[in-house]
Structure 1
Amino acid sequence: MRVLFACMATVGHTYPLIPLASALRNAGHEVHFAVGEEMHPELERLGLRPFRPGLSFGEIYAGDIAPELERVLPDLVISGWSVPEVFREAKRRAFPVLWHGFGRMFDDGIGLARPDGGRHLDLCPPSLQNADFTDDRILLRPVPHATPGRVPERTHEKLVYVTFGTVFGTEELLATAVGDLGRLDAQIVVATPDRWLPQAEVIKQADVVVHHGGSGTMLTALAEGVPQVVLPRGADQFGNAEALVKAGAGVRPDAVGAEAVAQCVRLLLTDGRYREAAGLIADEISHMPSPEEVADRLAEVV
C-alpha cells in the first residue's frame, strides 16, 4: 500500500504523525510525507520520503497538493488537522483519506480551521477528548517521537522538567517559570529553543512537568503518569489546561509568576492525588491501539 502523509511543518504538527508513518513503513508499505523542508532531515533519517509540496512552507493548499496526489497516486492519504485543504482535495479527487489528530479536538477561534466531517485517527484518550467532538474516530495510542539526544544526569531524588515548546519558549517566560524553582529540593531540567532535549526520555524520569499546554508535551507526560503545571499561551493550550485540571492530573497557576509556579510544583510533588489521577490516564493510554496495530488495520479503510 502506498500512503501519503501531509501536515504543517512544525514539530508539534509533524512529530505526532511519525509513529504511525514509521509503523506503516516497517510493515512494508511505501510511505511519502508532504511537508515543508524544516522537517525533512528527521523524516529522511527515518526513511519516510519527505518532499515539499508545491511552493508550501507551513500550510499546504489545494494547489500545492493536487499535482502531488496525481504524481504519488496514494492508496491512502493521511492528512494532519493542520492542513485541511489536503483532506478536501484528496476527497474531491476520490482518494481514500483520513484525518490525523495531534491531541484534543480544539475549539473554533484558535487560528486553525476545525476539521469538518470524515474519519479521524485520534491520539487523545477518550476521557480527555472534547465532548462535542463526535466524528467517527479510530483510536491511536500517542507514542512520543523525539530526535536522539543526551538526557541530563540525575542529581536529585525529584526531577522537574520545564519546557514551553518550539514556539512559545521565550527567555522571559522561561525565566519567570523557573525563577523560584531553585528553592525546591529537586533537579530542574529546562529545555529552551537553543537547548533542545530528547523530551520523551526526560519526561520518563520526571516527577512534575511544567509547560505551555501543547498537545505533544501533555500527552507524553500523561502516557508516563506524570502530573503537570500548565501555563497556556495560545492555540489549543487553554482547552488542554482545562481538561487536565478537570481530570485532576494537573494544575494551572492563578498568575504567571515565579512564586505561583513554584507553589504549584511543590503541591504536585507532595500531594499524591495528582500523580494518581495522571496514572489512571496513563493506564487508559496504554490500552489504546498501538501504531503497529492501527497500521495493520488501515488496509480495511482503502
Structure 2
Amino acid sequence: MRILFSGMPAYGHLLPLLPLERAARKAGHDTAVLTHGSMADVVAPAKTLAAGPDLEAIMGEVRRRTGADAWTDTSPETVGEFFGGARVDLGIDESIAAAREFRPDLIVADYADFLGPTVAARLEVPWVSHAVGIAIATDSHEAMKAAAAKRMRERGFSPTAPLALIDPWPACLQRDDWTASPDRIEVRSAAYESETSETEENSWTRPEFPGREHLPRVLVTLGTVVDDPDTLAAIVDSLGALDVNAIVAVNPAADTDSVSVDTSRVHLVGFVPMSRLLDGVDVVVTSGGAGTVLAALSSGLPMVVLPLGLDKPLNAERAANIGAAAVVTDPRDIAQAVGRVLTDPSFSEAATTTAKLIADMHTPEDILNTLLTRLPPTGR
C-alpha cells in the first residue's frame, strides 16, 4: 500500500506524524511525506514530496491579503486564512501534481494541514486526520475548514470526511469543555528520535559536568519556532541562582558561537532529538510547545513553562491543571519555579501518572492495523 503523510512545514507538525510513518514503512508499505522541501532532513529517511509554501511565505501572503500578523493574531479569521486559505492557494496545484505521481491509497494529514485533505478530495483517496496538540478551538477549526472547502469547490470538487482522527494528546490535557469525537483513536506519543545514524545530532552524547554530577539537571528549550535570545539569556541568568546543571537547546537556526555561558554548569546545543535531550533530566524548562510538553510528560518529567505565544498559554495551563508544571510569566522567575518543582514531589508524581496514561494508549503499529481495516474494501 502507498501511504502519503501530509503536514505543515514545521517540526511541531511533522514530528508527531513520524511514528506512524515509520510503523507503516517498517511494515512494508511505500510511504512519503508531502511538505515544503526545507523539511526533508527532518522527515528523513522517509521520502519527501516537496510541495507547498514555507511558513514565511504563508505569513507574508496573509499579511498582504489582510494586514494581519499571523504569528500574533489568533482570531478565527486569520487562522482560517493562514491554514485553509493562503497555504492552500499557494500549494494546491503542485501538491496535487506530486500526489498524483505518488498515487497514494491513503493520506494521513496533520490536523492543521489542509493540503492533504484537498489532495485526498481531488484524487478521491481516503484520508485520516492526525492531531498534534490540544484540540483546536471549534470556531478556528471551522474557519480553516470553510476556507479550504471554498478553494476545493472553486476547482470543481468537494471536501470529504476523514476515516478517523488519530490523537496523541491525552484526554486529561484537553480543555474542560472538550468532548471526544466518535472517530477518535488515541495513539501513544514518544519523544522524537532520529533514524539517521550519521547526522550530527545522533553523534551527540549527554554532556558531563565534572564535579557536579550529583546536582539536578535542567533542560531549557524554547522549541523549534521561537528564536528569542534575550529571553533565553534571561532564563540562563535566572538559573544561575540555583546549584543546578543546565542543558540549553537553542533554536536550530540560531548561532550559539556568540553566546557566553559558564561551561562548567551550562551546555549549549543546537537541534538534538528530544529523546536524547531528556535523558537524565530532572526538570524541563519550556515555552510550552505541544511537542515538548508531550515529550516531557511521556517521559514522566515535570516542567516549568514560560508560555510564548500561539497555543503555548493553553498548553501551559493544562499541564499545570494536572499538577505536572509550574507556570511563570517572567523569565527572571524561572529559578524560583525550578526550585519549587525540584523540592515539591507532587510535580514529579503528576508527571509520572500522566506518563503511565500515555503508555496505555495504542501503539502506532496498533493504529496502522486499525486504519487498514477501515479502508474501503475495493481499495484504489
* TM-score for both structures, normalised by structure 2: 0.73
Corresponding position of 2:362: 289
Q: How many residues align?
A: 297
Instruction: Indicate conservation of the 8 Å contact 1:251/1:264, yes or no.
Output: yes
Residue matched to 1:129: 174
Separation (CA, whole Å) in 1 of partners of 2:54 and 2:353: 39
| Deviation per residue, 1:82-135 (Å, 9 max, x gap) | 312321441354211011111211336889966686431101012112343533
1:159 maps to amino acid? R
After superposition, the Cα gap between the structure-2 partners of 1:115 and 1:125, relative to the gap in structure 1 and judged at 3 Å, is farther
Identity %: 31
Note the 1:4-19 alignment, pairs <5 A: 4-19=4-19
- In the TM superposition, residue 16 of structure 1 has moved relative to its aligned partner by 1.2
Aligned partner of 2:207 among 142, 152, 177: 152
- Residue identity matched to 1:43: V
Q: Deviation of residue 250 (structure 1)?
A: 0.4
Q: What is aligned with 1:277?
A: 350
State the match for 1:177 in structure 2: 235
Aligned residue type for 1:36:
H
- Cross-structure match for 1:206: 281
* Cα displacement string for residues 205-239 of structure 1 (whole angstroms, at most 9, x for unaligned residues): 11110001001100010011111111111111111
Match in the other structure for 1:103: 133
Amino acid of the structure 1 residue aligned with 2:330: V
Note the C-alpha offset of 1:168: 1.1
Deviation for aligned residue 1:11: 1.2
1:138 and 2:213 correspond: no
Report the Cα offset of residue 183 of structure 1: 2.2
- Structure 1 residue aligned with 2:372: 299
What is the CA–CA distance in structure 2 between the aligned matches of 1:133 and 1:10, rounded to whole Å?
27
- C-alpha contact 1:156 1:186 (8 A) present in aligned 2: no
Counterpart of 1:120 in structure 2 is 165
Q: Which amino acid aligns with 1:84?
A: F
After superposing the two structures, state which structure 1 stretch, 235-244 or 77-86, moved more: 77-86
Partner of 1:56: 53
TM-score (norm 1): 0.90
> Residue 21 of structure 1 aligns with which residue?
21
**Cα contact 2:6–2:115 (8 A) shared by 1:** no
* 1:100–1:209 CA distance, 2 compared to 1 (3 A): same
Aligned to 1:265, what secondary structure does the other structure show? helix
The structure whose Rg is larger is 2
For 2:93 and 2:140, locate their aligned partners in 1 and report how far apart those are by CA, in whole Å: 24
Residue 6 (structure 1) shift: 0.7
AA aligned to 1:212 is S
Instruction: Tell me if structure 2 keeps the 8 A contact 1:32–1:49.
Output: yes
Q: What is the DSSP-based 3-state SS (H/G/I as helix, E as strand, rest coil) of the residue aligned with 1:33?
A: strand
Shifted more, 180-189 versus 235-244: the winner is 180-189
**Alpha-carbon spacing, 1:286–1:227, altered in 2? closer, same or farther (3 Å):** same
- Equivalent-residue separation in structure 2 for 1:261 and 1:9 (angstroms): 31
Which segments of 5 or more consecutive residues in structure 2 lack a partner in the other structure?
56-86, 147-160, 195-201, 255-268, 376-380
Indicate the SS of the match to 1:262: helix
Q: Which amino acid aligns with 1:144?
A: A
CA contact 1:82–1:112 (8 Å) conserved in 2: no
Which region of structure 1 is more displaced relative to structure 2, 284-293 or 56-65? 56-65
Deviation at 1:49, TM superposition (A): 1.2
Alpha-carbon separation, structure 1, partners of 2:350 and 2:299: 12
Q: How many angstroms apart in 1 are the aligned matches of 2:193 and 2:234?
A: 26
